[in-house]
Amino acid sequence: MKTQIEINKPEPIPVSAEVQSYTNGNDVELTIEDLIQGKSVLINEFYNDGVSLLQEIHSYLNLKLPNKSFKEQQKYRSEYFKLSNLVLIEVVDQELCAKKAPSIGWLEKFYPENNHFFLTFPQVQGMNSAWQWYQNGISIPVLRNKIHPYYGTYFPTRFEHLEVFDNWLKRYKGPKKTAIDVGVGCGVLSFQMVQYGFQKVFATDTNPNSIVGLQEFMGTTKLSRKIELDAGHLFGKWGKQTELIVFNPPWLPKTHELGGIDKAIYYNEKLFPEFFAEAKKRLLPDGKLVVFFSNLAQITKVTNKHPIETELAEGGRFQLENCYKKSVRTASNKTKRDPHWRSLEEVELWVLNNN
d(CA 122, CA 89): 10
pLDDT beyond 70 at 105: yes
If you classify domain 160-354 with CATH, what class do you get?
alpha beta
Compute CA distances 237 → 92, 190, 196, 299, whole Å: 41, 17, 25, 36
Looking at residue 254, its pLDDT comes to 66
Average pLDDT over residues 3-13: 85
d(CA 183, CA 314): 24
Element (H, E) at 78: helix 70-84
d(CA 295, CA 161): 12
d(CA 272, CA 259): 19
pLDDT digit string, tens, across residues 63-80: 888 767 777 888 888 899
Higher-confidence position of 293 and 301:
293
**Cβ 247 vs Cβ 205: under 8 Å:** no
* Domain ranges in the chain with CATH number 3.40.50.150: 160-354
Compute CA distances 305 → 195, 308, 323, whole Å: 35, 9, 17
Dihedral angle sign, alpha carbons of residues 275, 296, 264, 257: positive
Burial code (b: 16+ CB inside 10 Å, e: under 16) for 313-350 equals eebebbeeeeebeeebeebeeeeeeeeebbeebbbbbb
pLDDT digit string, tens, across residues 219-242: 989 999 999 999 999 999 999 999
pLDDT digit string, tens, across residues 299-341: 666 677 889 999 999 999 999 999 999 988 765 544 444 455 5
pLDDT digit string, tens, across residues 130-179: 999 999 999 999 999 999 999 999 898 889 999 999 999 999 999 999 99
